[in-house]
Amino acid sequence: MSILHPFSGLAQSPGPESSRPDEVLIAEDDPISRRVLESWLRKWNYRVTALENGLDAWSVLQQQDAPQMVILDWMMPGLEGTELCRRVRSQQGGRYKYLLLLTAKGRKEDIVAGLEAGADDYLTKPFDVNELRARMRTGKRILDLQDALLRVQTELQFQSAHDHLTGLWNHGAITSLLQRETQRSSRMGHPLGVMMADLDHFKRINDSYGHQTGDAVLREAASRIVASVRNYDYVGRYGGEEFLIVLAECTTSDLIATAERMRVCLSGSPIETEVGPIPVTVSIGLAARDATAAVQLTGDDLLRVADMALYRAKTNGRNRVESAPEIQKASLSHAATHQ
């Protein structure tokens, strides 16, 4: 899992950065009409790609960085404008494209057919320059609004699932991921490892140096934890100075080795802060799930068993890794008798 601060990168709109609402694709087989359109659009500071048939236009529109504003002639060789509209609208994902259909057809039923094919608007030939400019401004407003909505949606989605201080998965998200991975372990027959990690004597850091320094320590600790596991493992802030790590397809021996590597990574060198270097140690409790065992632990079972192992690490002197006893066979009630 990569660690990102929740406010870094969220201002970027989703999708390819190089595609902007001021880029326009023209597909028009009539060379005079195409040159006139291109001339006016360039005069209005649009960046223009001009093509003469529908097949070439479709090839461009399938690219990731295709222009978002598209002017399509209705009647073209290769693919007609209405068929291009249908194909564009049938594409899954990607950024929205504003489609302006250029047509000599003026009947209402033709206009309705073009709009139902997926066009956002239409312009009849011969077109009025002022009307064209107004249509382009409308299209740009629509695309700008959509980009703004997507940015807000992306930010809200990120914030709803991530801890605002560390950028890790938050409590709700990491526990949901644990349940999902537990189900996948049962379905696929793969082992699953869980760690509960708690920074030792963290309250002393807050009391001695203040909460801002404590926050800096938490951020660096989170970064070191992430660096200690595989990029497809899940790391979440369970609460306070406690972290929950979910490791899919991880055997018990690998789980212990990873936990020890994490402990050394955190305690091996002090964390540099504005008030100076602060030494930090961590206690880690482990639980593992063997998908072939007769008695299967649920996600909640794994969480409670790892928490009990963490408690044992704390009582045995801290800065250590402890595993739950008989972890592959324990049910929740059985594990409770080994506290």
* Amino acid sitting at position 339: Q
β pairing state of 192-199 and 242-248: antiparallel
8 Å CB contact between 324 and 297: no
Q: E strand or H helix at 269, and its extent?
A: none
Task: In whole angstroms, give the CA distance from residue 200 to residue 181.
Answer: 28
326 among known catalytic residues:
no
Terminal Cα distance for the chain, rounded:
32
Tokens of 318: 């801290």
8 Å CB contact between 214 and 222: no
Distances (CA, A) of 42 to 36, 54, 139, 244, 324: 10, 22, 16, 55, 69
DSSP 162: B
Strand partners, 26: 50, 71
Task: In whole angstroms, give the CA distance from residue 206 to residue 214.
Answer: 5
CB-facing half-sphere around the CA of 248: CA atoms within 13 A:
18
Task: In whole angstroms, give the CA distance from residue 262 to residue 268.
Answer: 10
Neighbours of 193 (CB within 10 A): 28
Candidate list 28, 38, 52, 241, residue with the active-site label = 241
Active site residues: 241
